[in-house]
Homo-oligomer: A and B are copies of this chain.
Amino acid sequence: MQNTFFTPGPAALFPTFEKHLKTFMDRQLGSISHRSQQYRDLHRFTVEQLRMLLSIPDTHQVLFLGSASETWERILLNCVEHESFHLVNGSFSKKFYDYAHALHKFAHVYEKPMGEGFDFAEIEVPEYAEVICITHNETSSGVQMPVADIHKLKAKNPDKFVAVDMVSSAPYPALDYSLIDTAFFSVQKAFGMPAGLGVWIVNEACLAKAERLRKYDSLTIGAHHDLPTLWKNALKYETPATPNVMAIYILGKIAEDFNRIGIETIRKETEHKAGLLYNLVKKHNNFDAFVKIPRHQSQTVVVANTKKESSAVISKLKEKGLIIGSGYGEFKGSQVRLANFPATSVAQIEGLVKALGEV
């Protein structure tokens, strides 16, 4: 029996994934040189499809890394001389903050408990912070930050970089890149691919800072995947080292599929499916929503408290071929996490809602 995955990543593969994989193999793209015109055309196609999908302007480059976690490090090395500022409300935003410590940056934090979100009005950005690190969608707790609040943060702090972790929400958030200096995601969430590629969107102001920092003796911007080298190669539609060609190719084809469906349709369908899930969680006696305030409720990762051990719910659904995620960390036994990515259709989410209702 083939299972349907509603796990928050690695997640269900997008329905067209296998077709694109077959084309990759048939065209022998796994063996082509990453310094050939054939590769550059492939790379360019993916970048262009992502630009169209996410409305990324020419002021920003689209770069490919090993993972989104690597991007945390690259942003901190390349864009922070002394101080960073982090909004932390879960395990992944916490890791971004921990990375800053490990790199000996002076890291400020505004922290909230798991399950709570941030609003623009309450955030005081430290005076000397160079970058404001925001997790649009905290995968561990199912908390989302409204995009309008992210934009307001930049408008109020135009001299600071705004960095947005949208690992488990892209392409859902409609970011305005005239207000976002850098953002990043990985492909094993809403793009419905196996893990192994991070995508880093970053602007010229970040590049200028990295080029300035590179001249200092007192710090390093790193040697592998430093921003100036990535950028220089990206202008030729290449990467500094041999990249994950398979993932870059398939990402381009899935982004093209998304563009055919239309980003607005994808966003509306995401909200419709999230509505079905939150409605079930609200009505059913066995569940209640972990995130209480609707504007902070993630549209892509729905987290519910379970009355009994969550493992019982997970097992029941597994018998029906429906794989859902457990809670994260300390909530492992008392919560379930339900991914709501484009790979799972309205009908599949309806089936999940029905099965959860019958538990």
A193 at the interface (CB under 8 A from B): yes
A186 CA to B3 CA in the complex, in Å? 32
Are A196 and B243 closer than 8 Å at their CB atoms? Answer: yes
Determine the main DSSP class of A at the interface with B.
Answer: loop
Are A104 and B220 closer than 8 Å at their CB atoms? Answer: yes
In order of increasing CB-CB distance, the 8 nearest A-B pairs are: A66-B66, A196-B244, A30-B194, A69-B241, A99-B223, A102-B223, A73-B224, A5-B31
Residues of B within 8 A of A345 (CB): none
- Bitwise, A73-109 to B at CB < 8 A (1) or not (0) is 1001000000000000000000000111111100000
For window 203-261 of A, CB contacts with B under 8 Å fall at: 217, 220-226, 240-247
Nearest CB in chain B: distance from A35 CB, A: 9
| A69 nearest in chain B by CB position | B241
Identify the interface centre among A70, A100, A217: most chain B CB within 10 Å of its CB.
Answer: A70
State how many copies of this chain the complex holds: 2
A174 at the interface (CB under 8 A from B): no
A196 CA to B243 CA in the complex, in Å? 6
Residues of B within 8 A of A323 (CB): 31
**Of the candidates B5, B28, B68, B243, which one forms a contact with A2 in the assembled complex, judged by CB atoms under 8 Å apart?**
B28
Binding site for B on A (CB under 8 A): 2-3, 5, 7, 9-13, 17-18, 21, 25, 28-34, 65-70, 72-73, 76, 98-104, 186, 188, 193-197, 217, 220-226, 240-247, 323, 325
**Of the candidates B13, B226, B241, which one forms a contact with A67 in the assembled complex, judged by CB atoms under 8 Å apart?**
B241
